[in-house]
Structures are given as structure tokens and as C-alpha cells.
Amino acid sequence: MKIKHIYLLFILITQFYFCFASEVKSLESVPDLENAMYLTVNGYPCVRLLNISGEIGCANPGREKVVAPVVRLMDVDKFARPSAVLVSQDELQNFFIRVLNDHDFHNKIAGVLVESRSDLSTKERGFSPVEKFPQAKFAPYKNNSYEWNPTGSNIMWNKYNFPVFLLSQHSTLTLQEIASKNGKSKKAHTVDVAEFDLVMQTTKAGTHDSESCLKQQSCLPLGGYSVLSSLPPIDDISKQPKPILLVVASMDSASFFRDDSPGADSPMSGMISLLAAVDALSHIDAVNEFNKQLVFLVLTGEAWGYLGSRRFLAELDMDSDVVHGLNSTLIELVMEVGSVGKAFDRGVNSFFTHAVGGSSASDKALSAFQDALESLESSIKVTTASKSNPGIPPSSLMTFLRKNSSLSGLVLEDFDTAFSNEFYNSHLDDISNVNSSAIATAASLVARTLYILASEGKESNQKALNSINVNSSMVEELLGCLLTCQPGLSCALVKDYIAPISTCPNHYVGVLLGPPTSTPILDYVSDVSRFVWNFLAERTSTLRENASSACTQDCSRGEVCIRSEKKGKDTCVVSTTR
């Protein structure tokens, strides 16, 4: 599915060097000299982005490399020249706030090196580099000063004219020793320095916003490919299309550091829950008897102006091929699976439904959640969100409501009045921040609720409802695949469908390398998007008649080829997955 762009991504730098002032005793070649003098350190960069208003993020101040002594924050004033400052996680937020408000202090900073996430005080206090009301301008209500994200500092949305890197744990130990040594040095010319060798800035002068940058072709637009799938497959020739229950989740997060954006609770817990719910529903026989059409939509680009959902709605307006068989007037309810991974963290196992519309569809959905809860015979709670809230929390549903304010919808979350995720859109929102049991339980609630709604009531088949069970082991496996580097995307579940390009998953939105199309080149589609597409295509499919073991020719109308990257495993199946 095509995604429209708003923000533009510039050149990334992932390595920098340290030059040592220590004495070299034995050298036999120039490489020996370089190896003795330089240590290459890998890091996660803060990058420079553009939008229609200007620049945000980090970049070298000019076109020359930055060379500066490495010092601890407390030693900055000891050096006459600007320094590469080693900052702990605990100091990070206040450091950038001071940079923005203290010009003299700003002039002392040549670069920033952030220690790895080992310090526990940050975990206790929280860290979120985005706004207290993320993407407030998309809210379908006027109160955009409400604090959904109390730990939000907004430091990610400012411009910094110096390079910033998050260090690995090993690099942190090395740099701590160097900074400590420099702090004790009495001679400025003998200190060890950091050399930020590559330049992080636009490739052409004068391109200081997205419009000028696009015209000069000096940057790439953020974007990616969302996935749409229906259960059962949509019958193109049906004269009586069914009302649509649209189930939404997101697959991308954001972070101050581009290459470390796990998004475990927000939004990956919701996406994993959706995948597990689809898997559970795929095992029942009654899907072809549903009175409603289930459509699942996994969006990318939502962390950056809700790119995915806005593009989806634009495709509906254009009646394009990627939404063939769908009609916005048929959407009866939008159900979004939001952050659900921390629902069991407060001692009371509780989810919250944030509903809008006040229509019969919304009321039926809330009632269906309670019926689904009763069928689970569990001690968990599903509670309607507080009426004191200004409206729904930041979510893709906002985009749908701005398009159609009368639409019925709800968001399932692990919080009521404010985010329970204290690391929203940060590199600290990792697998340790979520509970697999909460995600599996949310999947069970979603699957059973959808069954009740799609079959017009739980009384129709209580036995079938009770047979809908989520595979908890698969949820655990998905967490390992999508939120860790070991096994990461090399896990058996992912490799059963695709040949992943990388092992470590990263959920920061990608860039569009070519014109968006409904049939993109696979190399232009992220590993996660390709995996989700294949997973949903199989789980929502029916085998074609006389199916062969391989897609030897193009699949027939209404069919797609799954596992196309796995030689000998590719198969045509009947599926409405795009």
C-alpha cells in the first residue's frame, strides 16, 4: 500500500573515531599507525530531518568533520575549546533542555555521546523525547494541551547543530575511561579526541525545508508499505457487500536515535496482539458465515504525521487498486489495538476502551468486549475510559475521525487518562517494557470480540466462541523475532516466510527509494512489512483448487503468492492481502 511522505531523511552517520594521544612504541606501516591512533566506535545516530516548517534533529554545524576532546558533562568548563560531551541517560533530558535555553553552554558543545541504557534511575523516572500530547494537531477535539504523555520533553522536535550518538554498552565503558582520563589531564594537547568524520547535513545548500529539498532532490521521503488483509477474502462478484469491521494497528515507532527504535509497548504490543488475534480466528470454521467483513490494517508511518492512515484514506477516496473491494461508506466500526503490553503492570490486570461515536455500533463493540471478557473466565478487567478525558488518545483513529467525525470507533489501550508507557517513542521502550501475558490476553479479547460482532451476537455459537484461543507460544516467539536481536528476524517464524535482510529489527519508519506502487520491488519493502504481509496473507487465506507447491506462473485473480522469497515453498492462495 502506498504511503505519502511529509518528513525527509538526510544522510546518516553510524561510525565515528577516537584519536588517542598515548605514545606509540613500535610501528611498521601506515595502517599500524592508524590502528594505534584510532578506535572506531559504532553508535546509533540522531539524524537531521526536514518538514514543511524547517529542520529538526542533529547534524554537524558545517561541511567539515568535527574533532573535539571527550569530556564528562561535569568537566565541560575545564576546556577552552568545544567538547564532545559524555552524557548519561539520567542527564540526557535536562542536558538538551539546557542546550536550548543557555547559549553560552550551547557554544561549548561540539558533539554528544550518550551512555548505554544501564542506569536504573532513568527507568524509574521515565524518558520520552516527544510532546506531552504527541501529534496534537491531528486530534479531533480542541483540547490539544492535555498531557497524554506526562514524561514527554519534546527534545526530539528541535534542531541541534552538533552530532549526537547513543553508545553501545561496550563503547560506553571505553568512553568513560577516556573521559575520566581527559578530565584529569593537565595538558590540553595530550587529550584523546572524538572525530566525527562524516557530515550529517543536507547535500545541497539552501535546502532547509521539505519543499526545497524535494525540488533539489537532495533527500529522501520517509515512508513505507502498510499491509491490508481481510477475513475471509473479499468476494469481488458479491452483489451484497458486507458491513466492514476495520481492525487497525501500527508497525512503526520513533526515537531520538534512528537505528534504536524498538517501540515495544508503543506500538508493537498492539501489532503483535493483532497478529495473534488473526491467527486465532483463522482456526475457526465459521468465518465464511460472518455477517460482517473483517478487514485488518497494519500501518507504517504513523509516528510521523499518521502517514499510513492518511494514505489509506486517500486511496479509498481514489478507489485505487490497493483498496479494491472496499468502500469507506461500508466501514461500520474502526477498532484500533494500541499499547497493550503494560496492562498487567499496576497490580490490577486491566485494559481500557477509549470509544467515540456514541452510536449503536460503538455500544455494541463495548458490550462485545464485556461478553468476550466473560467468556475468558479471567480476573482481568476491561474498563471504559474516564469521561474526563478530552477524547480518544493519540492514535490512528484520530485520522479517521478527522475525515469522518460521525464514524464509530474505539481504541484498546493499557492506560486510562495518561500513557502507562513512560518511554513512549524512545530507545528505552524495549522488550523489558512489556508483558507477554498482557499481549496474549489482549489478543484473546480482540479475537473473541470480533467474532461476537461479526456473527451478530455471542448466542449464535457459544461453543465456537470458546474455541477461539490465542497461541501464547507464538506471542512469545513474535516478541523475540520483532523486539530482540537474538534471534531477531532470523527466527524460524520470520524465516519461514521471507529472507530477511537484517537480523536486528528496528521499527523507525524507512524511506521511499522509488515511486510508491501497489506492486513494489521487494528490496524497497522493509523486512517487517514483508513478514506481516506474508503472515496475514496465509492466516486469512484459503487454498486455491488444484494448488501446486510453487507459484510457477502468476497467481489467478483473487490470489496472491506467499513465501515468494523461499525457493520451493512459494504457494498461490486465495487472499485479499495487499
pLDDT digits (tens, 9 = 90+) for 72-99: 999 888 877 898 899 999 999 999 999 9
Q: Output b/e per residue, 253-274; b: 16+ Cβ within 10 A.
A: bbbbbbbbbbbbbbbbbbbbbb
Domain shared by 322 and 211, yes or no: no
- My answer on whether 453 and 307 are in the same domain is yes
What stretch of H or E contains 39?
strand 38-45
Give the pLDDT band (50/70/90) at residue 187. Answer: low
What's the pLDDT score for residue 295?
98
Specify the pLDDT at position 221.
Answer: 86
How does residue 478 score in pLDDT terms, banded at 50, 70 and 90? very high
In sequence order, the 6+-apart residues with CB closer than 8 A to the CB of 49 are 7, 8, 9, 10, 55, 56, 57, 222
Neighbour-count burial of 160, counting CB atoms closer than 10 A to its CB (0-12 exposed, 13-18 middle, 19+ buried) = buried
264 and 430 in contact (C-beta within 8 Å)?
A: yes
Please say if the pLDDT value at position 457 is more than 80. Answer: no
Any domain includes 551: no
Type and span of the H or E element at 474: helix 472-483
Asked if 397 and 468 sit in the same domain, the reply is yes
Over residues 1-10, mean pLDDT: 40
* Same-domain status, 256 and 325: yes
Backbone angles phi, psi at 232, to 5 degrees: -75, 175
- Cα–Cα distance between 125 and 289 in angstroms, integer? 50
What pLDDT, on a 0 to 100 scale, did the predictor assign at position 545?
64
Q: Is the pLDDT of residue 123 over 90?
A: no
For residue 36, the model assigns a pLDDT of 47
Q: Is residue 553 part of a domain?
A: no
Q: What is the pLDDT of residue 16?
A: 56
The two beta strands, 38-45 and 15-19, are antiparallel
Same domain, residue pair 216 and 256: no
The residues with which 384 forms a beta bridge, in sequence order, are 353
Q: Rounded to an integer, what distance in angstroms lies between the CA atom of residue 524 and that of residue 537?
A: 19
Residue 50: what pLDDT? 87
218 has pLDDT over 50: yes
Which residue range forms the structural domain that includes residue 524? 242-540
DSSP 37: H
pLDDT tens-digit series, residues 554-576: 888 889 999 999 888 899 999 99
Q: Is the pLDDT of residue 15 over 80?
A: no
Q: How much is the pLDDT for 365?
A: 94
pLDDT value for 425? 98
| pLDDT exceeds cutoff 70 at 204 | no
Instruction: Tell whether 233 is covered by a domain.
Output: no
Helix (H) or strand (E) holding 276: helix 269-281
Q: Is residue 236 part of a domain?
A: no
pLDDT computed for residue 42 by the predictor: 74
Q: Which amino acid, residue 571?
A: T
> Could you tell me if residue 148 is inside a domain?
yes
DSSP H/E element including 561: strand 559-562
> What torsion do the CA atoms of 372, 373, 374, 380 make, to the nearest 10 degrees?
170
The residue behind cell 534542531 is 159
| Weakest mean pLDDT among 119-133, 213-227, 230-244, 482-496 | 119-133
Rounded to 5°, the CA angle 349-350-351 comes to 140
Q: Which pLDDT does position 201 carry in this prediction?
A: 52
Helical spans, DSSP H, in 282-359 = 307-318
* Residue 267 DSSP label: I
Q: Which residues, 6+ apart, have CB-to-CB distance to 477 below 8 Å?
A: 491, 492, 493
Out of 26-40, 204-218, 259-273, 402-416, least confident range:
26-40
> Above pLDDT 70, what percent of the chain?
86
Helix then strand then coil, in percent of the chain rounded to 5, is: 35, 20, 45
Q: Residue 33 — pLDDT band, cuts 50, 70, 90?
A: very low
Give the per-residue pLDDT at 27: 47
Buried b (16+ CB within 10 A) or exposed e, 478-509: bbbbbbbeeebbebebbbebbebeeeebbbbb
Which CATH number characterizes residue 503's domain?
Answer: 3.40.630
Question: What does the pLDDT read at residue 24?
Answer: 43
321 and 446 both lie in a single domain = yes
pLDDT at 453 over 60: yes
pLDDT bin (cut points 50, 70, 90) of residue 38 is low
Same domain, 383 and 481: yes
Mean pLDDT of 225-254: 90
Indicate the range of 169-183, 222-236, 488-502 predicted with least confidence: 169-183
pTM of the model: 0.92
Mean per-residue pLDDT of the chain: 86
If one counts the domains in the chain, the total is 2
Domain membership of residue 230 (yes or no) is no
Tell me, yes or no, whether 253 and 366 share the same domain: yes
Which pLDDT belongs to residue 394? 98
Task: Report whether pLDDT(381) > 80.
Answer: yes
CB 114 within 8 A of CB 87: yes
Q: Is the pLDDT of residue 289 over 80?
A: yes
Residue type (1 letter), 477:
E
* 573 belongs to a structural domain: no
Q: What is the DSSP string of 113-165?
A: EEPPTT-HHHHHH--B-S-SSTTGGG-SSS-TT--S-TTB--GGGSEESS-EE
206 in the same domain as 254:
no
Q: Are residues 500 and 535 in the same domain?
A: yes
Per the rule left: phi > 0, alpha: psi between -120 and 50, beta: everything else, 10 is beta
Write the pLDDT tens digit of every residue in 349-376: 999 999 997 778 899 999 999 999 999 9
Q: Where is the domain boundary, 220, 254, 271?
A: 220
Instruction: Please give the average per-residue pLDDT across 315-329, as a whole number.
Output: 90
Q: Does 234 fall in a domain?
A: no
| 192 shares its domain with 261 | no
> So what's the pLDDT on residue 264?
98
| In the predicted structure, residue 142 carries a pLDDT above the cut 60 | yes
Residue 388: exposure state from Cβ atoms within 10 A (0-12, 13-18, ≥19)? exposed
Determine the Cα–Cα distance for residues 375 and 1; give it in Å rounded to an integer.
36
My answer on whether 329 and 380 are in the same domain is: yes
